[in-house]
Amino acid sequence: MKVNQNNSEKNFWDQIRIPSGAPISMSGSQGKSLPKLMVWLIWFVSATYVVYTLKLLSSSPSCDEDIFLSRSNSIALQKNDTAAIISSMISPPQLGEENDEKTGLKHIVFGIAASAKLWQKRKEYIKLWWKPERKMRGIVWLDSHVRTYRNESGSLPQLRISGNTSRFSYKNKQGHRSAIRISRIVSETLRLGMENVRWFVMGDDDTVFATDNLVRILNKYDHNQYYYIGSSSESHLQNIYFSYRMAYGGGGFAISYPLAKALEKMQDRCIQRYPGLYGSDDRMQACMAELGVPLTKELGFHQYDVYGNLFGLLAAHPVTPLVSLHHLDVVEPIFPNVTRVQALQRLKIPMSLDSAGLMQQSICYDESNGWTVSVSWGFAVQIFRGVHSGALYLYGSRTFLNWYRRADYTAYAFNTRPVMRNPCQKPFVFYMSKARMNYRTNITVSEYTRHIVPHPKCRWKMANPAEVDKVEVLKKPDPLLWNRSPRRNCCRVLESKRKGMVIDVGVCREGEISKVLTTKT
């Protein structure tokens, strides 16, 4: 047994070798006792290692589990990030109550270009539309000091003197260097540091704004983006000489606050690059072109580069809110037999009742008399002999002259209705004389009185509109008119007597077109 045991131990140690591969040699008495101690030592170390390892395994996850949990956490975080992104796309972060509300007059600052030489006369135009009770904000920028009156302090914007522009070069021989001063009004107004501003609106001292309609237009656009909003001239030649891409300053234009900030940073350098330009609005357009911002055209801004009578243009107003009127010193009063200011004061009456519907045209027919009727609400009614296509009367009649008179009738930027050669086709015009609100029915009642002027003799055998003295128009206010797709209102002749006519104007009914069946009397 001893021999077998020694042989067994020998075989065991023969299999243990040092790293070099040489067998461990034993000699003497130490060689017999040393293997036993080493065996026990090895077994003790091994057992300790096994126990320690088992303890670690029981108290912590394995490597595979660590990897799995790590990946799971990563996926969960990615899912959370994706969900947050999707959530922000569907429900964008709240910007606060102030930014969520619709644009109102309190968010607009007006910059009015004025001349001290003409101030005493033209300030009367500003008084017509300025509404201090509605907390409007604006500055009238003058070239020099003017006399002020204490009783006018609440009816006009604040007056300021424009900054010195003598350092800027001006080389246009036909213009005036005041154009540089006027072109900097938006930047100078911005530097005043007013709060909660969304839009800067530019105009002249002879520009009259329909402010409620201005707000309607601006609410269509995001004031946080770059917007340059206005319209072109009525004169084709004016647009060729300057640009169809330019907002004419007299008709007014609007610039969003972020764009005004960008403009203010570069405008003075921009102005220096264009000393040969004529006016302020073409300098503004040049700087907008450098900023890469095009004109957003809104046809309700009216430059009115015409002479004479605006009747043909106003009576066929485009299907868009009336925003502004300009060059009021150049044209005739919009209502006859009164001053310009008195005429505009009369226009304020229907404007206060239903500003959205002001000047909007509709066509209908009086079949009992065989007449065509055009209603330009709040301004005028026209009666034409005969039943004609309504499309013909949507073009303005030529009651005005072109800005360049040598090119009259050939240089408009819009279509006009040819002058009727047949004396029977001359319209009978009824101008609005008064308007009121029937609060019991919530319907406006406006009256139009015939403008008595000589009419040529007509040989048509039909009823004569000259026998009608007054036209009464009923219309329910429609403040949400421009929240819908653009469409003309329809009108219906309700009553037609020898001395008068009653017409209803309102939203077109299902299937209703311009030519409608009217009530015969």
Q: Which residues pair with 412 in a beta bridge?
A: 235
**Mapping DSSP to helix (H, G, I), strand (E, B) and coil, where does residue 215 land?**
helix
Q: Tokens for 507?
A: 């939203």
Q: Is residue 321 part of a domain?
A: no
Mean pLDDT over 300-312 rounds to 95
Give the pLDDT band of residue 54 (cuts 50, 70, 90).
low
How much is the pLDDT for 31? 43
How much is the pLDDT for 77? 36
Domain count, the chain: 3
**Other beta carbons less than 10 A from residue 359's beta carbon:** 24
Q: Tokens for 465?
A: 């509109």
How much is the pLDDT for 97? 41
Cα distance between residue 295 and residue 489, in whole Å: 29
Q: What is the pLDDT of residues 330-348, one digit of tens each?
A: 999 999 999 999 999 999 9
Mean pLDDT over 377-387 rounds to 96
Say which CATH number the domain at 409 has: 2.70.130.10
Mean pLDDT over 399-416 rounds to 79
Please report, rounded to a whole number, the percentage of residues in the chain having pLDDT higher than 70.
79
State the Rg of the chain over Cα.
Answer: 42
* Residue 441 pLDDT > 70: yes
Cα distance between residue 421 and residue 482, in whole Å: 37
Amino acid at 453: V
Give the pLDDT band of residue 131 (cuts 50, 70, 90).
very high
Nearest CA-CA partner of 402 in 341, 453, 330, 352? 330
Buried b / exposed e along 248-271 (16+ C-beta atoms within 10 A): bbbbbbbbbbebbebbbeebeebb
How much is the pLDDT for 211? 97
Last residue of a domain, one of 261, 282, 303: 303
Q: Is residue 335 part of a domain?
A: no
Q: Is residue 331 part of a domain?
A: no
Residue 78: which domain range?
Answer: 1-86
Give the pLDDT band of residue 398 (cuts 50, 70, 90).
confident
Cα distance between residue 255 and residue 262, in whole Å: 11
Q: Is residue 327 part of a domain?
A: no
| Co-location of 476 and 447 in the same domain | yes
Q: Which residues pair with 23 in a beta bridge?
A: 17
| Co-location of 246 and 383 in the same domain | no
Last residue of a domain, one of 60, 86, 112: 86
Give one DSSP letter per residue of 315-368, joined into a string. TT--SS---EE--TTTBPPSSTTS-HHHHHHHHHHHHHHHGGGTT-EEEEEETT
| Co-location of 119 and 229 in the same domain | yes
Cα distance between residue 394 and residue 404, in whole Å: 24
Last residue of a domain, one of 303, 337, 364: 303
Cα distance between residue 468 and residue 472, in whole Å: 11
- Neighbour-count burial of 372, counting CB atoms closer than 10 A to its CB (0-12 exposed, 13-18 middle, 19+ buried): buried
Q: Is residue 339 part of a domain?
A: no
How much is the pLDDT for 2? 40
Q: Is residue 311 part of a domain?
A: no
Arithmetic mean of pLDDT over the chain: 84
Mean pLDDT over 210-237 rounds to 96
| Co-location of 216 and 180 in the same domain | yes
* Residue 1 pLDDT > 60: no
Q: What is the pLDDT of residues 10-19, one digit of tens each?
A: 443 444 443 3
| Co-location of 113 and 81 in the same domain | no
Nearest CA-CA partner of 303 in 248, 242, 240? 248
Q: Is residue 259 part of a domain?
A: yes
* Residue 408 pLDDT > 70: no
| Co-location of 64 and 179 in the same domain | no
| Co-location of 35 and 130 in the same domain | no
Mean pLDDT over 290-316 rounds to 96
**Greatest distance between any 2 Cα atoms in the chain:** 156
Q: Do 169 and 275 meet the contact criterion of CB atoms below 8 Å apart? A: yes
Q: What is the pLDDT of residues 68-101, one digit of tens each?
A: 334 444 444 344 444 443 333 333 333 344 457 8
**At a CB cut-off of 8 Å and minimum separation 6, what does 80 contact?**
none
Mean pLDDT over 48-66 rounds to 48
Whole-model pTM? Answer: 0.79
| Co-location of 140 and 232 in the same domain | yes
| Co-location of 361 and 400 in the same domain | yes
Q: Is residue 367 part of a domain?
A: yes
| Co-location of 79 and 108 in the same domain | no
Could you give the count of Cα atoms lying within 13 Å of 243 in the half-sphere of its Cβ? 21
| Co-location of 252 and 111 in the same domain | yes
CA angle 200, 412, 395 (to 5 degrees): 95
| Co-location of 82 and 108 in the same domain | no
